[in-house]
Structure 1
Amino acid sequence: MYNFIYNKTTVTEFLLLGFSNFSTGRHYLFMVILIVYVVTISTNLFIIAIVRIERRLHKPMYFFIGGLSFLELWYPTVTVPRLLWALLMKKQAISPAGCITQFYFHFSFGVAENFLLAIMAVDRYIAICRPLRYPLIMNINTCIKLLLGSWFLGFVTVLVPCLQVSNLSFCSKNEIDHYYCDFAPLIRLSCSDTSEVQMVFFIFACFIIFGCFLVISLSYISIIQTIMFSITSRRRKVFSTCASHLIVVVLFYGTTTFMFIRPTAGDLVHLNKIISIIPSIVTPLLNPIIYTLRNQEVKEAVMKVVQKCHNEKFSIGR
């Protein structure tokens, strides 16, 4: 399990404990998570297809919803298949390289979602507060650049904390009390001085989470000020349009703020493992459902596609 490099005992594999304490109900937990994962992938693929196929949804708002659904295909895929494998086969070992790779992609997709949610709030601000300039500002080229930019920033900004974690020394202890390679449990295992790494990660988390949340908050404050004296029907329409995005923002930022905006990474690690289920597994499932149920245009597009598929099936059957 260990080898000797430069006269120091170095960990050659980590053990992801995950939910190993569920020894008797492990297979039930496996089935629940598998069903949630399959439904998550299916519903997000369905949203992407609907946005792509239905012409009435060829608007910036739905372009970003499709982009969010595409992101939600990958965000849980970084951690859930590995968790399912561990539950089914009791294989907890993961190499240091595999652990750092999982760490990098998990946080990259998480940061990209932060930026994308902020972009979606700005899109709503421009549509509601600057309606005459909206088609000019939010053209297709701008939308593509913003979407790709959120991914680019996600993958670039995580490089520094990822490199810092990868340069830490891990001696003797190798059990990670989590189902994926998260920051806090890795810091607890390290035999290096982690004070600088923790401070950099804390500043990084504050900058990303609070920065994007500030953009979202300012956008919605401006929206509220704009529609405050509007007629009731317009206020109802604006609320219906923005409510889905706000629900997703509350779910995502409520959990990520609790998990990462703490100066000491070692506190409440076991609770972090439970809370992390929401942004990593639950939110990717709820996002397409929320946007479908709360948005009249999406519901009408879904019904149209379902009806079209039904008619084609009926005509073939005849």
Structure 2
Amino acid sequence: MKYEEMEAEDNVSRVIQLVLLGFSDLPNLQGLLFGVFSIIYIIILTGNSLIIILTKLDPALQKPMYFFLSNFSSLEICYVSITLPRILVNLWTQDRRISVLDCATQMCFLLILGATECFLLAVMAYDCCVAVCDPLHYPLVVTPKVCLQLAVGSWVSGIPVQIGQMCQIFSLRFCPSNQINHFFCDIPPILKLACRDTLAHELSVYVVALLVAAVPFMLILASSSKIICTILRLPTASRAKAFSTCSSHLWVVLLFFGSATITYLRPTSSHSAGTDRLLSLFYIIVTPMINLMIYSLRNKDVIAALRKLLLKI
């Protein structure tokens, strides 16, 4: 363990290096986990990269819906690349040390991209709502300029808030125990290292979560309600096509917001290392895999574009 001794009244040392315990309690499964996570990472990278390429090359996918899907695929690649490579390195080398700076950087990017996903899912819900509820005015409302503005807004809106939250958390004085019972730097396990009362920080986490997640989620619920009401008024023959347009998005929303809510908005007293790791594993690795399958296998336009690309090759 490596510390930098700080002269202070409370004689607490400032930790400059942390240890991610990760899956150290499963020594016999290190090789298996490395193999499984490597395959999942390759599938996520390949699948989302393919979606990005298809939306750029196929004229049938030159629509706002697929512009946002391309952004979402780029986001998923960035999201898993923040955590999975380090998890793989830790499993392969068994060296679980991470500097406080690297840990703070990882958390910061994770929070920023999490906020981006919340906003982007809300934007995609709005796009779907206009497409279903007002198809005649859709080309006039969702123009290329509007699409670009909404996408850029989604990517940058959460940056100042999440950087501030990260700085607030890492301004805490950590106890000499530098072991994080987790496989990446997340808010709940980092707060457990603090030597002082973290109630104010926990409240700030709840406030930020409500702003970043609850507001977009309410907008998504409003859009979904309007979509459902519109679909129910359509002739029976048209309902299936209209519903399939947005059902995939609703599944992704439920998976992402459900796992994030359970992780960050649960009472602190109900947090346990095992549960936190299981939930984090779900929304960091499993959810991107499911999202990829939902947006590719359940999307006829993407499948058709893939077939055309394969025939050309």
Q: TM-score range by the shorter chain?
A: over 0.9
1:56 corresponds to which residue?
60
The answer to whether the 8 Å contact 1:184/1:266 transfers is no
2:15 corresponds to which residue?
11
The RMSD of aligned alpha carbons is: 1.3
C-alpha distance in structure 2 between counterparts of 1:178 and 1:17, whole Å: 6
Q: What are the residue-to-residue correspondences of 1:166-315 with 2, within 5 Å?
A: 166-264=170-268, 267-309=271-313
The answer to whether the 8 Å contact 2:158/2:212 transfers is no
The answer to whether the 8 Å contact 2:87/2:183 transfers is yes
Is residue 81 of structure 2 the alignment partner of residue 81 of structure 1?
A: no
Q: 1:266 to 1:186 in 2, by over 3 A?
A: farther
Q: Of residues 149, 156, 180 in structure 2, which corresponds to 1:145?
A: 149
Q: 1:46 to 1:12 in 2, by over 3 A?
A: same
1:2 corresponds to which residue?
3
The answer to whether the 8 Å contact 1:187/1:266 transfers is no
C-alpha distance in structure 2 between counterparts of 1:43 and 1:260, whole Å: 29
TM-score by length of 2: 0.96
Displacement, 1:219? 0.2
The answer to whether the 8 Å contact 2:4/2:14 transfers is yes
Question: Number of matched residues?
Answer: 309
Secondary structure at the aligned position of 1:189 is classed as coil
C-alpha distance in structure 2 between counterparts of 1:263 and 1:117, whole Å: 26
Amino-acid identity (%): 37
2:137 corresponds to which residue?
133
Q: What are the residue-to-residue correspondences of 1:8-47 with 2, within 5 Å?
A: 8-47=12-51
Deviation track 1:84-113 (CA, whole Å, cap 9, x = no partner) reads 011010111111111110010011111100
C-alpha distance in structure 1 between counterparts of 2:91 and 2:221, whole Å: 40
Tell me the amino acid that sits aligned with residue 19 of structure 1.
F
C-alpha distance in structure 1 between counterparts of 2:150 and 2:59, whole Å: 21
C-alpha distance in structure 2 between counterparts of 1:197 and 1:125, whole Å: 37
Displacement, 1:193? 2.6
- Which runs of structure 1 show a deviation greater than 4 angstroms over 4 or more consecutive aligned residues? none
Displacement, 1:283? 1.8
Secondary structure at the aligned position of 2:27 is classed as coil
The answer to whether the 8 Å contact 1:243/1:294 transfers is no
The answer to whether the 8 Å contact 2:231/2:243 transfers is no
C-alpha distance in structure 2 between counterparts of 1:15 and 1:202, whole Å: 26
C-alpha distance in structure 2 between counterparts of 1:126 and 1:6, whole Å: 61
Tell me the amino acid that sits aligned with residue 173 of structure 1.
S
Secondary structure at the aligned position of 1:254 is classed as helix
Displacement, 1:81? 0.5
Structure 1 gaps of 5+ residues are: 310-318
C-alpha distance in structure 1 between counterparts of 2:175 and 2:285, whole Å: 31
Secondary structure at the aligned position of 1:15 is classed as strand
The answer to whether the 8 Å contact 2:20/2:97 transfers is yes
Q: 1:21 to 1:76 in 2, by over 3 A?
A: same
Q: Of residues 66, 90, 97 in structure 2, which corresponds to 1:93?
A: 97
TM-score by length of 1: 0.94
